[in-house]
Structure 1
Amino acid sequence: MSNELVKRRELSFQLFELLDTNALCERERFSEHNRETFDAVMDIAEKIATEKFATHNAKADANEPTFDGEKVTMIPEVQEAFDAYVESGLIAGRFDFDEGGMQLPETIMTACAGYFMAANPSSTGYPFLTVAAANVIRNFASEDLKNAFMPRMLTGEFTGTMALTEPHAGSSLADIHTSAKKHADGNYRIKGNKIYISGGDHELSDNIVHLVLAKIQGAPAGVKGISLFAVPK
Structure 2
Amino acid sequence: MSLRPTVDFLLYDWLGVQTLGERARFADHSRETFDAVLDTCERIAREKYAPFNRLVDTQEPHFDGERVILPQATKDAWDAYAASGMLSAAQDADIGGMQLPYTVEAAGNAFFAMASVSIGAGMLTVGNANLLMAHGTPLQREVFALNEFAGRFSGTMCLSEPQAGSSLSDVATRAVPDGEGAEADPLGPRYRLRGNKMWISAGEHELTENIIHLVLAKIPGPDGKLPPGVKGISLFIVPKKLVDTQGQLTGVRNDVALAGLNHKCGWRGTTNTLLNFGEGRFPVQGPGVGAGLDGQGAGAIGYLVGEAGQGLRYMFHMMNEARIGVGMAATMLGMAGYHASLDYARNRPQGRPLGAGGKDPIQPQVRIIEHADVKRMLLAQKAYCEGALAMELYCARLVDEQHTAEPLAADEARLLLEVLT
The amino acid across from 1:75 in the alignment is P
Q: Mind listing any 5+ residue stretches in structure 1 that lack a counterpart?
A: none
Partners of 2:129 and 2:232 in 1: how far apart?
23
The alignment of Structure 1 onto Structure 2 pairs a total of residues equal to 228
Offset of residue 132 of structure 1:
1.1
User: Is there any run of 5+ residues in structure 2 with no aligned partner, and where?
Assistant: 184-189, 241-421
Map residues 42-53 of structure 1 onto 2, 5 A cutoff: 42-53=38-49
- The yes-or-no answer on 1:35 pairing with 2:31 is yes
Selected match of 2:205 from 202, 207, 231? 202
Shift of 1:182: 1.1
With 132-141 and 74-83 compared, the bigger mean Cα shift is at: 132-141
Larger radius of gyration: 2
> How many Å apart are 1:102 and its aligned residue?
0.3
Q: Which residue of 2 aligns with 1:175?
A: 170
Q: Deviations over 1:161-183 (max 9, x none)?
A: 01110000011000010001112
Counterpart residue number, 1:162: 157
Distance 1:12 1:39 in 2: 9
Q: Confirm or deny that 1:100 pairs with 2:96.
A: yes
Deviation, 1:158, is 0.3
The aligned counterpart of 2:272 is none
Quick one: which amino acid aligns to residue 181 of structure 1? Answer: V
Q: Name the SS of the counterpart of 1:69 in structure 2.
A: coil
Give the CA deviation at 1:115.
0.5
Where 1:94 maps in the other structure, the secondary structure is coil
Task: Give the equivalent residue in structure 1 for 2:229.
Answer: 222
Task: Return the alpha-carbon distance in structure 1 between the equivalents of residues 192 and 237 of structure 2.
Answer: 11
Higher mean C-alpha deviation, range 31-40 or range 140-149 = 140-149
What are the within-5 Å matches in structure 2 for residues 15-94 of structure 1? 15-94=11-90
Give the aligned residue type for 2:112: F
Deviation sequence 1:139-198 (CA, Å, 0-9, x none): 111222112201110110000001110000011000010001112223111110001011
Output the CA distance in 1 between the equivalents of 2:44 and 2:56: 17
Q: Distance in 2 between matches of 1:117 and 1:140?
A: 29
Partner of 2:139: 144
Report the equivalent of 2:239.
232
- Contact 2:220-2:227 at 8 Å conserved across structures: no
Is the Cα contact below 8 Å between 2:162 and 2:197 reproduced in 1? yes
Write out per-residue CA displacement over residues 105-124 of structure 1, whole angstroms, 9 at most, x where no aligned residue. Answer: 01101101111111111211
Structure with more of its chain in helix, by fraction: 1
- The corresponding residue for 2:114 is 118
Alignment root-mean-square deviation, CA? 1.0
Please tell me the residue identity of whatever aligns with 1:193.
Answer: N
TM-score scaled to structure 1, two decimals? 0.95
Q: Give the letter for the 2:214 counterpart.
A: L
CA shift, 1:43, in A, is: 0.2
Letter in 2 for 1:49: A
Amino acid at match of 1:167: P
- Listed one character per residue, the Cα deviations across residues 34-86 of structure 1 (whole Å, up to 9, x for unaligned) are 11000000000000011101111110000001101210010100000000001
